Amino acid sequence: DTAVSQTPKYLVTQMGNDKSIKCEQNLGHDTMYWYKQDSKKFLKIMFSYNNKELIINETVPNRFSPKSPDKAHLNLHINSLELGDSAVYFCASSQASGAGTQYFGPGTRLLVL
Amino acid sequence: SQELEQSPQSLIVQEGKNLTINCTSSKTLYGLYWYKQKYGEGLIFLMMLQKGGEEKSHEKITAKLDEKKQQSSLHITASQPSHAGIYLCGADLFPGNMLTFGGGTRLMVKP
C-alpha cells in the first residue's frame, strides 16, 4: 500500500493555465506539506497544513493555494501557470501537528510550456 | 546561500569504499533528517537525529549530530551500487515543522 500518493505523476501544460495536483496519505497523519524541487534539485518548503492551521512560506506566490477536503488529502492548486513553475512538486505528511518525521510522496513533475 | 550546506555536492566512489557526507548550518538544528532520493523518484526517509551527540545506524549507514547541533554527517561503510542516489539533509528551521533542505549530495558508486 502506498503511504503518500500523488496524482498526476507527470503534468505538461501551457502558460496561463490553472492546474491542480492531488495528494493523499493513508498514514492517519495530522499534518501535510507541499515542497517544490527545482531543476537544480533544491527542495524548498511551500506549505504546512493541518486542520487547524496553514503555514505559508512567504516566498510562495499567491497563485499557489493548498486545498484540503479532509485530513487525508491536501491538493495544490496553481493559477496562471508560469514557465518558472516547472519543477517537481512533492507532498509529505507527518503524524503530530507540525512535528515528527515526514514521509514523502513520489512527486509530480510539472512542465509549463 | 543555503541555510543548510551539504558537502560534497557530488561524489563518485569505488564499490567497497567508505564515504562521508556533511550537512552544516549556522543555526541550531532541531530535528535533523536524512533522506535518500533515487534519480527521478521520491524521498526515502533514512534517519532522524535530535539530541546533540546523537548517533544512529541502519545497516551500513551511520548518521551523527554534533554536540552543538549545527553539523551532521552521514557515513556509508563498504559502499554498494544500491547506495547510489541523492542524499538530502533536512532540518526544522521554520515553525510548523517545515523542513529546510540542503542542496543534496549526488552519490555514484562504481562497480
* Residue of B86, B94, B100 lying closest to A41 (CB–CB): B86
Asked if B96 is an interface residue toward chain A (Cβ–Cβ < 8 A), one would say yes
Cell numbers 526544522 correspond to B92
Asked if pLDDT for residue B96 goes beyond 70, the answer is no
Asked if B13 is an interface residue toward chain A (Cβ–Cβ < 8 A), one would say no
Average pLDDT over residues A25-30: 92
Fold of A4-112: Immunoglobulin-like (2.60.40)
Q: Note down the domain range covering B68.
A: 4-110
Asked if A102 is an interface residue toward chain B (Cβ–Cβ < 8 A), one would say yes
Q: CA of B3 to nearest chain A CA: how many angstroms apart?
A: 11
Q: Quick check: helix, strand or coil at residue B93? A: coil
Neighbouring C-beta atoms of residue B9, cutoff 10 Å? 12
Q: What's the pLDDT at A98?
A: 59
Stronger pLDDT, B79 or A95, i.e. the higher one = B79
Q: What's the pLDDT at B100?
A: 87
Q: What's the pLDDT at A39?
A: 80
Asked if B93 is an interface residue toward chain A (Cβ–Cβ < 8 A), one would say no
Structural domain total, chain B = 1
Asked if pLDDT for residue B6 goes beyond 90, the answer is yes
- Measured between CA atoms, the residue of chain A closest to residue B92 is A99
The single-letter code of the amino acid at A13 is: T
CATH number of the domain encompassing residue B28? 2.60.40.10
How high is the mean pLDDT of chain B? 90
Asked if pLDDT for residue B1 goes beyond 60, the answer is no
B32 Cβ neighbours under 8 A, 6+ residues apart: B23, B48, B49, B50, B65, B69, B72, B89, B90, B91
Q: CA of A107 to nearest chain B CA: how many angstroms apart?
A: 6
